[in-house]
Structure 1
Amino acid sequence: MTYAIVNIKGNQFKLFEKKYVYIPHISMKIGDKILLNKVFMFSKKGLHFFGNPFLENISVQVEILQHIKGKKIFIFKKKRRKGYKVKNGFRPIFSKIQVISFLEKNNN
């Protein structure tokens, strides 16, 4: 099983080949391909490669499949005995990406 742990917008995601994952919104068009260079760890056929902090010779190519809204998150503020109550909420936007391939550069 080949996978990589990648930094996307300050969060770490474990990406498998041909699988998709939801990440924080990326402002690019649907169908665009992105090359992710911030790879912390890469595993292939039982061999593990760790970066310090990132791996230089491995990058991940992903494709944006769609942009969707998540479940509503409610924010409720209250101050006791003051009559102050505020209820608010929002729906975060996510991007659905699919891993196309892991690109390895040979250093000879």
Structure 2
Amino acid sequence: MAHAIIEIAGQQIRVEPSRFYDVNRLVGDVDSQLEIDRVLYVNNAGEVSIGAPVVEGATVQATILRHMRGRKVLVYKMKPKKKTRKKRGHRQELTRIMIDSITVGGTAIDTKDQPRG
């Protein structure tokens, strides 16, 4: 299975074509195309390319599907014997992206021929 490790929105994510991922909020409209050139690692059916720090000539094409907010995380602080309690909630701003293709050296990696597993 072809996959790559990219750096986007302050995170490093392992991505595969035709899958969607949630990353920190990106600037861009829904259904707009992204070209990610911070590709750190590419594996194409056993042919591995490791960057130092990035793989030269490798890009990942993605589409912004939607902007959303993540699950609520509750932060509860309490000091015993002081009657001090604070309860705060946080929802992270996220963007869902669909990975369209991984390109290495000008040729797109095709995943339809490769066995999954």
TM-score (normalizing by structure 2): 0.85
**1:4 & 1:73 partners in 2: Cα distance?**
30
1:39 corresponds to which letter in structure 2?
V
Identity across aligned pairs (percent)?
25
Runs of 5+ consecutive residues of structure 1 not aligned to the other structure = none
8 Å Cα contact 2:35/2:61 also seen in 1: yes
* Map 1:1-108 → 2, pairs under 5 A: 1-105=1-105
Residues in 2 aligned to 1:5 and 1:73: alpha-carbon distance in whole angstroms: 27
Aligned equivalents of 1:79 and 1:45: distance in 2? 55
**8 Å contact from structure 2 (residues 9, 25) kept in 1:** no
The one-letter code sitting in structure 2 at the alignment partner of 1:20 is F
Amino acid at match of 2:63: E
Distance 1:19 1:3 in 2: 11
| Structure 1 residue 10, shift from structure 2 partner | 2.0
Residues in 1 aligned to 2:71 and 2:10: alpha-carbon distance in whole angstroms: 21
* Partner deviation per Cα, 1:37-92 (whole Å, 9 max, x = no partner): 11110011211110001111101010000112111100111112111101010211
Which amino acid counterpart does residue 49 of structure 2 have in structure 1? F
* Amino acid in structure 2 at the alignment position of 1:15: V
Matched residues, number: 106
Q: What amino acid does structure 2 have at the position aligned with 1:35?
A: E
- Give the aligned residue type for 2:77: K
Amino acid at match of 1:84: T
Q: Structure 2 regions of 5+ residues with no counterpart?
A: 107-117
Residue 18 of structure 1: how far off its partner (Å): 0.9
2:80 & 2:62 partners in 1: Cα distance?
49
Counterpart amino acid of 1:93?
Answer: E
